[in-house]
Structure 1
Amino acid sequence: MFHSLQGKTVIVTGGSKGIGKGISRVFSNHGANVAVVARNLSVAEDCVAEINESNNNVSTYAFCGDVSDRESMAAMAKKVADKFGSIDILCANAGIFPSATIEDMTSADWDHVMNTNSKGTFLTVQACLPYLKESEFGRIVITSSITGPVTGYPGWTHYAASKAAQLGFMRSAALELASHNITVNAVMPGNVMTEGLEGLGEDYLKEMASSIPMKKLGTVEDIAYAALFLASKEAGFITGQTIIVDGGQILPEN
């Protein structure tokens, strides 16, 4: 499946935890060279050790980078290109989701989320773009969310705004980069089981699952395989589009 990804180099920002870790693992399992990028290098290294222990692909390495910092992203992209010889795919996945009501939210709270989620997407794409242009086929896959572009949730107005902003960026970027044979698409997860939810208790998780027609939370692999498809050569005529992966969560009227 998707043999076109074998030997391709993929950068996964926020690649050491949650959905990012799932993306890193799935791409590695399909023969790609994977650069797991995180702000904490030791956490990225732990993720890489776990991935390399479970499969035969040893072309998965850890890199340090802060998506909200232009110089950090430029340095990261150069290190990845020097290590693997190319950058073919960018999975712009890094994101944060602290909660705050509009009444209590500070300007710093708003800026922190927007700088990481939306500005971080822009800076990461900008840093990788020179290398993506040199690729046989370049792919950019953004991890957005159903929250913001489609739905809302109290306490996450800054998060919702940042995720909607990613899709505005995606559509214009897809037009701008089409002539370079680079596609730009997004996956939009619904409720997904990650490490961050494990401590919330069984009752809370059951309540979350009950809002989904399929009566279960998604897995990080569910999101990763959507990203894998969008990154493949086979998806080369798809750009500026989104795939919602939510078990039907957005479908009910109430």
Structure 2
Amino acid sequence: MATVLLTGGSQGMGRGLGKLLAQKGANVVIVARNQKNLESALEYISRFHYISADVTKVEENERIIREVTEWNHGQPPDIVWANAGMATPTFLMDTSVEVMRQQMDINYFAAAFLAKSILKAWVDPSKSKDVDKKSMGSIPPRHFIMTSSTAAFVGVAGYSPYSPPKAALRNLADALHEEVQFYNGARYHSSGIAAPEIKVHLVCPGTIASPGHVEEEKTKHPVTRILEEGDPVQTEDEVAAVAVRELEKGYYLIATNFLGKAMRASVLAGSPRNNWFIDTVFSWIASVVWLFVQPDMDGKAWKYGKTHGLAGAGQAAQ
């Protein structure tokens, strides 16, 4: 039975993931800051353990890994999902320096700090099971998963504080995907300790009907709503189901709806492919479609500015 550590697990996508993973038989440890939300989520998920922590702090991530390892009978978790995040959609000139830093902290550094802490635990020989090297192929791999956003693929007016850290996560995932190949290769030359293979994944959902989305609407500029018109909205359980299903297929870079998959295909660049043939053909099609979509989005933003002037913008923060 796998042990899963899930940050941002008290509401939204994280709550849906915790419930689904528990139903699949995993030992789930959810992490969030709000104690009341954690207790409510644990009741919804119906089993296992929670930790209250601020994942934007390095020392808190190290504490989380220590506590989960102790709870898991001295073994680090098999799957770690960096799911914590939040959006404060505003125009850049209306965003305070404090909010800009907060968006980077929760949407990028929280995942990067967790990655650093769990990789140190996973490659520590004292935390690896003593297995004959001939049997290493039968050891289930460990998975580090990060939740980004379709905002990592396409910049949209009004998401300037949010989309850059999500895009940074995508680049971090690409770099870690290659970095763990070093660890995976090195395990075949260790002194008798056979560590499991490590795999990295990135999940990029679109709009999720959640308490977080309700909060986003409070600061969102009207032009951002216009640009988002027609975007699919998924429930937390729908997003969780798609994400887990595609992870079970071994996919690396996952979008959870068709629009997100098209956006993903158009900007794959140097990222690993889930399926080289399908991704290549889809990227050709998406690149052609984007020749029409991008000018349309630019035109909508320009038209709104022409019609309304600077109404709602520049009220700004210091």
TM-score range, shorter chain: 0.7 to 0.9
Query: Are the counterparts in 1 of residues 10 and 32 from structure 2 also a CA contact under 8 Å?
Result: yes
CA shift for structure 1 position 192: 1.8
The 5 A counterparts of 1:32-51 are: 32-51=26-45
CA shift for structure 1 position 62: 1.0
CA shift for structure 1 position 219: 2.0
CA shift for structure 1 position 208: 9.3
In structure 2, the residue matched to 1:224 is: 240
SS in 2 for 1:155: coil
CA shift for structure 1 position 197: 4.0
Mean Cα deviation higher: 178-187 or 130-139: 130-139
Aligned counterpart in structure 2 of residue 88 of structure 1, from 67, 78, 85? 78
Instruction: Quote the Cα distance in structure 1 between the aligned partners of 2:5 and 2:104.
Output: 21
Aligned counterpart in structure 2 of residue 146 of structure 1, from 145, 150, 163? 150
In structure 2, the residue matched to 1:165 is: 168
CA shift for structure 1 position 94: 0.3
In structure 2, the residue matched to 1:246 is: 257
Mean Cα deviation higher: 63-72 or 172-181: 172-181
In structure 2, the residue matched to 1:193 is: 209
Query: Are the counterparts in 2 of residues 185 and 242 from structure 1 also a CA contact under 8 Å?
Result: yes
Query: Are the counterparts in 2 of residues 37 and 62 from structure 1 also a CA contact under 8 Å?
Result: yes
120 and 197 in structure 1: CA distance in 2 versus 1, 3 angstrom threshold:
closer
Deviations 1:41-97 (A, max 9, x none): 332122102221xxxxx3x21111211101111111111111123311111110021
CA shift for structure 1 position 210: 5.6
For structure 2, list consecutive stretches of 5 or more residues without a partner in the other structure.
129-138, 185-196, 264-285, 297-318
CA shift for structure 1 position 167: 0.6
The 5 A counterparts of 1:1-254 are: 7-52=1-46, 58=47, 60-85=48-73, 86=75, 87-133=77-123, 134=128, 136-147=140-151, 149-178=152-181, 179-180=183-184, 181-197=197-213, 211-212=230-231, 216-229=232-245, 231-232=247-248, 235=250, 238=251, 241-248=252-259, 250=263, 253=293, 254=296
41 and 12 in structure 1: CA distance in 2 versus 1, 3 angstrom threshold:
same
Amino acid at match of 1:187: V
Instruction: Quote the Cα distance in structure 2 between the aligned partners of 1:226 and 1:207.
Output: 27
CA shift for structure 1 position 187: 1.0
In structure 2, the residue matched to 1:4 is: none
CA shift for structure 1 position 195: 2.7
Give me the CA root mean square deviation: 2.6
198 and 112 in structure 1: CA distance in 2 versus 1, 3 angstrom threshold:
closer
Instruction: Quote the Cα distance in structure 2 between the aligned partners of 1:136 and 1:99.
Output: 40
- The alignment's TM-score, normalised by the length of structure 2, stands at 0.65
SS in 1 for 2:177: helix
Query: Are the counterparts in 1 of residues 29 and 51 from structure 2 also a CA contact under 8 Å?
Result: yes
Query: Are the counterparts in 2 of residues 89 and 231 from structure 1 also a CA contact under 8 Å?
Result: no
- The alignment's TM-score, normalised by the length of structure 1, stands at 0.81
CA shift for structure 1 position 128: 1.7
SS in 2 for 1:10: strand
SS in 2 for 1:156: coil
Relative to its length, the structure with more helix (as a share) is 2
Deviations 1:6-40 (A, max 9, x none): x1011111001101111111111100010110012
In structure 2, the residue matched to 1:55 is: none
Instruction: Quote the Cα distance in structure 1 between the aligned partners of 2:112 and 2:236.
Output: 24
Bigger Rg, which one: 2
Aligned residue pairs, count: 230
